[in-house]
Structure 1
Amino acid sequence: MRFRRLKTSRWLRLAGALVLLWLAVLAADRLWPLPLKEVAPARVVVAEDGTPLWRFADAEGIWRYPVAIDDVSPRYLQALIQYEDRWFWDHPGVNPLSVMRAAWQDLRAGRVISGGSTLTMQVARLLDPHPRTFGGKFRQLWRALQLEWHLDKRQILTLYLNRAPFGGTLQGVGAASWAYLGKPPARLSYSEAALLAVLPQAPSRLRPDRWPLRAQAARDKVLQRMQTQGIWSARQVDEAREEPVWLFPRQMPQLAPLFSRKMLASSRDEKVVTTLDAALQRQLEELALNWKSRLPPRSSLAMIVIDHTSMKVRGWVGSVDITDDSRFGHVDMVTAVRSPGSVLKPFIYGLAMDDGLIHPASLLQDVPRRFSDYRPGNFDSGFHGPVSMSDALVRSLNLPAVQVLEAYGPKQFAARLRNAGLPLLLPNGAEPNLSLILGGAGARLADIAAAYSAFARQGKAGRLRMLASDPLIERPLLSPGSAWIVRRILAGEEQPLPDASLPQTVPLAWKTGTSYGYRDAWAIGVNARYVIGIWTGRPDGTPVVGQFGFISAIPLLNQVSNLLLARAASVKNGLPTDPRPPSVSAATVCWPGGQALPAGDSNCRRRLSTWLLDDSQPPTLLLPDQEGSRGIRFPVWLDEKGARVAADCPGAKASTLDVWPLPLEPWLPVSERRAARLPPASTTCPPLHQQDLIPLTLSGVRDGAVIKRLPGENRAALALQTTGGEGRRWWFVNGEPTESRGAATTLSLEQPGEYQLVVMDEAGQVATASFTLQ
């Protein structure tokens, strides 16, 4: 009985000791946890194919390229495990035989000369560096056991793949493969796999870019072991030995720096995978550097390339040269807010078509107009009178665009663009106004290019996909028909063609823009697969005289488009097509009414072939003040002889005459003007109004203006001009007539003070302006 009690007591003490030991292990694990997480880990931004674009080192300057086991060549894994730790998949983190052999060697030498380290123990040392002492070795063993306890073998191997030292600031096989070999670790040859497997043993002494002979000897040692163990065949090893170890100096990733910085803030991953095409990005950056010498001093440029079939950003150049501080190279102009100039005009024409306000052949009026203190003009400083919508878009005329925006509504226009991902930023919280269409609000190149994708995506504007994980999101902006029509106009294919003759692959459609004061030059293009956005100018907003879109940005746009199309033509599926939507049809309309008329109709003064959306033929869009007799539907009453009579005359018959809007009269042939188009008045029963006068308009000075003489000048010269009116002009300054009788005159004023200017035509119409000379 006593023996049994003693035996039970021993087992209880043993169990208690084991429990205490287990509690001690748990406590130690809690007190000294595995240091698996870094406060500021090394990160890398990569292209879609995995090519590193830019590295962001950790606090110690270490660069890593995170990989998983499946991202690494099986050849490398074979060489690594067979050479470093043959029993890696079987031991519990420590190989007892190797440890005992190393301990015997260390005891005999009185110091640590052999570690007997497994891969798990090497990972433990990488995570928690320790001195080469017996105490340090014990800590390494403890960390190795912790690793095996908390992680599985694949996780431990992954840690080694990403933490093993490869010389200098390189850690991990991914970073080493890209830096030394310029390729992903999944594509290693037998020779390269053996070389990278042995480098961590002595990374500084075996660096292949500095000590190629040492590295080759170490590599051959690994190759020999692989052959001896029967892992690789003799032929494979012999061919691998023939490859010399001679490498270029390490290359750090240096592509898309500004884009990479932006993407780093968009993701928390150590490896940020983007949608960029590394080869294309390299070509674009080289192209930008080649253009640098053509730019004015302190000027920069920006480019963005989007695959509109997927909305993936394939190229992003934020500045001409990130190292050039004189050109503000550190400023990303793809995301900078700038005045877009005229690049928004295609959107207003497409939206107005969808609203039934116009069609491509609608008659628009390129004539001088004033909106309170706002008096827009054209880039060429002239006016062109009657123009079609398609012609106004191709020639980028300002007044027709303002006319259409006025009819559509600036607030509605800004709201539609904002909803599609293109916010227009107005200064000081101002309300949307007519200046929007001429660059009176700020916008970003990235947003503009994304919105232009609607012209290639059946009217839906896609959101930019910059990270590989970004989903495809799109929002409706235009109808498929209006998007197709506008794109064809911008591509120079505004004239209708039969489907058999209509190119299914659309050539480059482009639009330029120049902001006020020549501060920004833009070119946005849409080819068969890509949207291309180009900006040039000075990032600080200083005007650059002579810089405008067609001269400064279009040549670069064409060069980028040709580069992209050459690449796309070699792709398996070729270039996408853009067939005519069912909602688009061909028709012939007449001016000035803007609608189809039968052959021989006298109201058809000019016939135009055009595309129509849903067979809609909206009448000519009038300006807000063009009502009644100033419109284009001119009611007349005719007697039996065809003469014009009053409505209450005996036998009067009502008729309708389509006439041109009065502001267009100065640009019309005499035979087309209203006076010539109207039938002669009856002498027996004349109409109440013999004619409608063309309004007299004064330009060159606005009412209430304050005019200052130039420094050093005693006089101020005012160039004045009138449009409209009838016959001669009489000019009066403060009630005193001048000698001029023409439609234009120049006043030379010397005395400061208040002035009143009056001009009168033969019909008695008067235009006035009061101003102050200082």
Structure 2
Amino acid sequence: MKWLWTGFALTAVLWAGAAGRDAFDRWVDDTVLPPLTVETSTEVLDRDGRLLRAYTVADGRWRLGIKDARVDPMFSELLVAYEDKRFYRHKGVDFVAGSRAVAQALRHGEVVSGASTLTMQVARLLEDGPTGTLAGKLRQTRLALALERALSKEEILALYYDRAPYGGNTEGLRAATRTWFGKEPVRLTPAEAALLVALPQSPENRRPDRHPEAARIARERVITRGLAAGVLSPELAEVARADPLPRNRQPLPALAPHLADRMRAEGPGPGGFVTTLDADLQARLETLAARAVGDQGSARLSIAIVVADHATGEILASVGSAGYEAERAGYVDMTTAHRSPGSTLKPLIYAMAFDDGLAHPETLIEDSPVRFGSYAPENFDGQYRGEVTVAEALRLSLNIPVVALTSEVGPARLFTALRQAGTDPRLPGGAPGLAIALGGIGVTPEGLTALYATLANGGSGGGLVHRPDSPRPVPRRVVSPEAAWQVGHILSTVPPPPNAARVHLAYKTGTSYGHRDTWAVGFDGRHVVTVWLGRPDGTPVPGAFGADVAAPILFEAFSRVTTRIEPLPPPPGALLLSHGALPLPLQRFQPRDAVFGPAPGSVALAFPPDGAMVELSGAPLALKIRDGVPPFTVLANGAPLVVGLHPREATLDLAGPGHLTLSVIDAKGSAARAQVELR
């Protein structure tokens, strides 16, 4: 009999008003208003204000704030036409509608029309108390009158938008449009607007996913009244009636969950939880990450992808895992996990060597067995190439040349440069040693992205940011623009993975010791992308190599970042010379303390290098001689094999596999020797 209580309440209010205007005004003005603000879901937004992720409020409800969001005017017009057509004319209580409702109810013995105004509904939502008694209706009526005196009509509607129930744990118009239609309330179809007007009257009984017929009937009533009020044209009403109802609730966006959690822990900035991310790009890369990990067929494999604008240092996408599956430890944000970078630090080492005048891309450097005290590095494949250019050593990711350069640059200086670039490096213990050149250090995917952003940005950097209002790191000159460009130019000539687009992307791959981490990092004239794959617990992934596993994903990621790779133009000071045109000290790399090395011009074996394993398979052995004065004498295990050789290249017919000591003596008596294994 709620209609009866409504009638009594309206009668009591009319009586109070008639009894004395001043007393009535004091009664309304003395009303204690409940809190008008309500807890809304924490939202994490992308750079353009689009929703990345939201969190439920304390009671587990979705309640998205609508203060700064726009509402489709058609929804507001339909709401007023259906619920309270005199909303803009009454003072909180519509005595005309109330009197009519009471008279009709008494005449028919049942409720024919309602008397509750939108303001009264807001009052009920604010107090969330019982209204099925005279005291409850009086309190609601008094509060409605007080609200009209304290707030504008627009502010009252805003309270309704924030608190109206829409089924399940969804409250408020914006959460409803997200839940039922996957969109913001700024632009709604007539059918969508009509359903949202009808739902709050009986949110559970009219849920379209559970009670579609009840929802359809309720929506039809709103459409009919909207047509009668002139809010909807006959054509729009017909289209609205034909539109299907939503069959299921849609989940709210949950993009960049790891970064969103991190930002919540940091606390809101001046603009709230606003990121530098691009929601569309983030969604594309999360889809790629899930598919890429699934293609690998390993249940425990995880992935991290970071994309940044290297000119601004802003992170545009951050994928911390392929999903939240417990089996993959998907809750661990791998973008901030310190892992061994494998060979991915080599470009920085070469750039520092260029700046120190130790080498040039066309400088020749030895790739042969060598010891640095007790440390004897080896190439990943166990092979040696002899003398190669520095550019080729970087392209092939050879270990021995880069360790030789690190020995000259200094591990401590390299560690400092990594910190200046914003990588946040972690040493397993003790002072930096030569092993950091090959991955004996911990860096994060975010940190490695910062390093390559530094190289891509002309050698100047200092870290990345994920908030647009964060103070930018002070740029530090890590390497010169010329050295950074030379490294990038070399990396852009590395062949792409099979079936990948030949876009001349500057990229480097890496594989850590024991196949625990696989990497691929690349950059062009604007973006830098890092891909990491491995297991969060650090156990090996047998047979996984960065070039085979991570590089194809890198190229796919870049295709989702940009449609065109922008090359890096060379700076004015770049030294673009052939080997022969280099100054003599740069033609061949020599350690600073190389006092007792071979005299300049002494004969040398370019191939096979000392310590090499050579696959012959019945073919003759290729011999290449560098420097020295012909004619040459070639000995095999001390026995003359070729005498009076003038060309610097020859083929040697040798008997079967085994170990061989090969010696070459030139016309001036200088000699070179290599011990090789023939297979």
Is TM-score (shorter-chain normalized) higher than 0.5?
A: yes
Q: Could you report, residue by residue, the CA deviation over 1:139-171 in whole angstroms, capped at 9, with x for unpaired residues?
A: 434544565566554444333223221110111
Corresponding position: 1:247 with 2:247:
yes
Secondary structure at 2:344 match in 1: coil
Q: How big is the shift at 1:76?
A: 2.0
Alignment of 1:29-428 (within 5 A): 29=32, 33-34=34-35, 36-38=37-39, 41-48=40-47, 52-68=51-67, 70-89=69-88, 91-95=90-94, 97-98=96-97, 116-132=115-131, 133-144=133-144, 147=147, 152-268=152-268, 272-290=273-291, 291-308=293-310, 311-323=313-325, 325-428=326-429
Judge which range, 457-466 or 189-198, deviates more: 457-466
Q: Could you report, residue by residue, the CA deviation over 1:376-420 in whole angstroms, capped at 9, with x for unpaired residues?
A: 222112333322221111111122222222222322222222222
Corresponding position: 1:581 with 2:581:
no
Judge which range, 445-454 or 350-359, deviates more: 350-359
Question: Contact 1:180–1:209 at 8 Å: present in 2 too?
Answer: no
Relative to structure 1, the CA distance from residue 669 to residue 254 in structure 2 (aligned partners, 3 Å threshold; closer, same or farther) is same
Relative CO higher for 1 or 2, CA cutoff 8 Å, sep ≥ 6? 2
Question: Contact 1:365–1:664 at 8 Å: present in 2 too?
Answer: no
Relative to structure 1, the CA distance from residue 118 to residue 475 in structure 2 (aligned partners, 3 Å threshold; closer, same or farther) is farther
Q: Structure 1: how far apart are the matches of 2:491 and 2:157?
A: 57
Relative to structure 1, the CA distance from residue 329 to residue 665 in structure 2 (aligned partners, 3 Å threshold; closer, same or farther) is closer
Alignment of 1:537-576 (within 5 A): 537-564=534-561, 568-569=562-563, 576=566
Q: Structure 2: how far apart are the matches of 1:151 and 1:582?
A: 65
Q: How big is the shift at 1:488?
A: 1.8
Q: How big is the shift at 1:58?
A: 1.9
Equivalent residue letter for 1:583:
G
Matched pairs, number: 603
Q: How big is the shift at 1:674?
A: 6.0
Alignment of 1:662-673 (within 5 A): 666=610, 671-672=625-626
Quote the residue 2:521 is aligned against.
524
Q: How big is the shift at 1:442?
A: 0.7
Quote the residue 1:630 is aligned against.
597
Secondary structure at 2:304 match in 1: strand
Q: Could you report, residue by residue, the CA deviation over 1:298-337 in whole angstroms, capped at 9, with x for unpaired residues?
A: 22222223344655544333223322x2322221212111
Relative to structure 1, the CA distance from residue 438 to residue 69 in structure 2 (aligned partners, 3 Å threshold; closer, same or farther) is closer
Gaps of 5+ in 1: 1-16, 495-504, 598-616, 635-656, 679-720, 728-741, 746-774
Q: Structure 1: how far apart are the matches of 2:100 and 2:462?
A: 65
Question: How high is the TM-score relative to the length of structure 2?
Answer: 0.76
Q: Could you report, residue by residue, the CA deviation over 1:352-374 in whole angstroms, capped at 9, with x for unpaired residues?
A: 32343322112333333333443
Question: Contact 1:366–1:385 at 8 Å: present in 2 too?
Answer: yes
Q: Structure 2: how far apart are the matches of 1:209 and 1:374?
A: 68
Quote the residue 1:609 is aligned against.
none
Relative to structure 1, the CA distance from residue 231 to residue 364 in structure 2 (aligned partners, 3 Å threshold; closer, same or farther) is same
Alignment of 1:669-748 (within 5 A): 671-672=625-626
Secondary structure at 1:170 match in 2: coil
Q: How big is the shift at 1:448?
A: 1.0
Question: Contact 1:595–1:619 at 8 Å: present in 2 too?
Answer: yes
Quote the residue 2:649 is aligned against.
none
Secondary structure at 1:230 match in 2: coil
Equivalent residue letter for 2:483:
S
Question: Contact 1:130–1:140 at 8 Å: present in 2 too?
Answer: no
Question: How high is the TM-score relative to the length of structure 1?
Answer: 0.68
Q: Structure 2: how far apart are the matches of 1:665 and 1:199?
A: 81
Equivalent residue letter for 2:593:
D
Q: Could you report, residue by residue, the CA deviation over 1:537-571 in whole angstroms, capped at 9, with x for unpaired residues?
A: 1211112332221122123223333444xxx33xx
Q: Structure 1: how far apart are the matches of 2:660 and 2:150?
A: 88
Quote the residue 1:713 is aligned against.
none
Relative to structure 1, the CA distance from residue 216 to residue 557 in structure 2 (aligned partners, 3 Å threshold; closer, same or farther) is same
Q: Could you report, residue by residue, the CA deviation over 1:236-266 in whole angstroms, capped at 9, with x for unpaired residues?
A: 3333333232434443434443333233334
Q: How big is the shift at 1:513?
A: 1.0
Relative to structure 1, the CA distance from residue 338 to residue 243 in structure 2 (aligned partners, 3 Å threshold; closer, same or farther) is same
Secondary structure at 2:408 match in 1: helix
Question: Contact 1:527–1:561 at 8 Å: present in 2 too?
Answer: no
In our comparison, the structure showing a higher alpha carbon Rg is: 1
Relative to structure 1, the CA distance from residue 673 to residue 60 in structure 2 (aligned partners, 3 Å threshold; closer, same or farther) is same
Relative to structure 1, the CA distance from residue 172 to residue 310 in structure 2 (aligned partners, 3 Å threshold; closer, same or farther) is farther
Q: Structure 2: how far apart are the matches of 1:145 and 1:725?
A: 107
Q: Structure 1: how far apart are the matches of 2:415 and 2:148?
A: 61
Gaps of 5+ in 2: 1-21, 496-501, 613-621, 633-658, 666-673
Quote the residue 1:508 is aligned against.
505
Secondary structure at 2:388 match in 1: strand
Secondary structure at 2:186 match in 1: helix
Richer in strand (by share): 1
Q: Could you report, residue by residue, the CA deviation over 1:406-454 in whole angstroms, capped at 9, with x for unpaired residues?
A: 22232222222222221111124x3233222211111111221233223
Question: Contact 1:216–1:244 at 8 Å: present in 2 too?
Answer: no
Q: Structure 2: how far apart are the matches of 1:177 and 1:532?
A: 35
Q: Percent identity?
A: 38
Equivalent residue letter for 1:404:
L
Equivalent residue letter for 1:303:
I
2:531 to 526, 531, 534: 534
Q: How big is the shift at 1:81?
A: 3.2
Equivalent residue letter for 2:433:
N
Quote the residue 1:499 is aligned against.
none
Relative to structure 1, the CA distance from residue 155 to residue 412 in structure 2 (aligned partners, 3 Å threshold; closer, same or farther) is farther
Q: How big is the shift at 1:512?
A: 0.9
Equivalent residue letter for 1:300:
S
Relative to structure 1, the CA distance from residue 160 to residue 556 in structure 2 (aligned partners, 3 Å threshold; closer, same or farther) is same
Q: How big is the shift at 1:275?
A: 4.2
Quote the residue 1:698 is aligned against.
none
Q: Structure 2: how far apart are the matches of 1:142 and 1:354?
A: 79
Question: Contact 1:65–1:271 at 8 Å: present in 2 too?
Answer: no
Q: How big is the shift at 1:349?
A: 1.7
Alignment of 1:587-598 (within 5 A): 587-590=577-580, 595-596=582-583
Question: Contact 1:226–1:232 at 8 Å: present in 2 too?
Answer: yes
Quote the residue 1:654 is aligned against.
none
Relative to structure 1, the CA distance from residue 670 to residue 544 in structure 2 (aligned partners, 3 Å threshold; closer, same or farther) is closer
Relative to structure 1, the CA distance from residue 540 to residue 97 in structure 2 (aligned partners, 3 Å threshold; closer, same or farther) is same
Equivalent residue letter for 1:299:
L
Judge which range, 368-377 or 514-523, deviates more: 368-377
Question: Contact 1:213–1:245 at 8 Å: present in 2 too?
Answer: no
- Give the root-mean-square deviation of aligned CA atoms: 4.3
Question: Contact 2:351–2:484 at 8 Å: present in 1 too?
Answer: yes
Relative to structure 1, the CA distance from residue 177 to residue 140 in structure 2 (aligned partners, 3 Å threshold; closer, same or farther) is same
Relative to structure 1, the CA distance from residue 283 to residue 69 in structure 2 (aligned partners, 3 Å threshold; closer, same or farther) is closer
Q: Structure 2: how far apart are the matches of 1:147 and 1:468?
A: 39
Q: Could you report, residue by residue, the CA deviation over 1:498-518 in whole angstroms, capped at 9, with x for unpaired residues?
A: xxxxxxx96222111111222
Judge which range, 98-107 or 551-560, deviates more: 98-107
Q: How big is the shift at 1:45?
A: 3.4
Q: Structure 1: how far apart are the matches of 2:80 and 2:469?
A: 33
